[in-house]
Amino acid sequence: MTTKIEDRFIPLTKWNKYHPWPSLAGLRHLAFYRDTNGFHVCLRKVGRRLLISEKTFLEWLDKQNAQVKVHASHEPRK
């Protein structure tokens, strides 16, 4: 479930002023592996600063949850 939100770009280090999750360490992990986990769609780099698109992050999170549901629906191997 997503709420309608205007897109705003939040500096990675200020994310927790607006949202309790994920932690700064978790965001840094996602940002470090952004090219392999698809998180690059949520980020914009301005100089050395990483900004997170709030709207795109929520959409990315929904997509990740949908993929987990698909994998969980398969029967376990025997």
Q: Per-residue confidence of the chain (78 residues) as pLDDT tens digits?
A: 556 657 999 999 999 999 999 999 999 999 999 999 999 999 999 999 999 999 999 999 999 988 877 777 766 666
Looking at the 3D structure of the chain, how many domains does it have?
1
Is 32 within the bounds of a domain?
yes
pTM value is 0.80
pLDDT at 65: 87
Is 56 within the bounds of a domain?
yes
Is 29 within the bounds of a domain?
yes
Is 78 within the bounds of a domain?
no
Measured between alpha carbons, how far is 74 from 76 in angstroms, rounded to an integer? 6
Q: State whether residue 60 is helix, strand or coil.
A: helix
Is 2 within the bounds of a domain?
no
Which range marks the domain in which residue 55 is found? 9-73
Is 1 within the bounds of a domain?
no
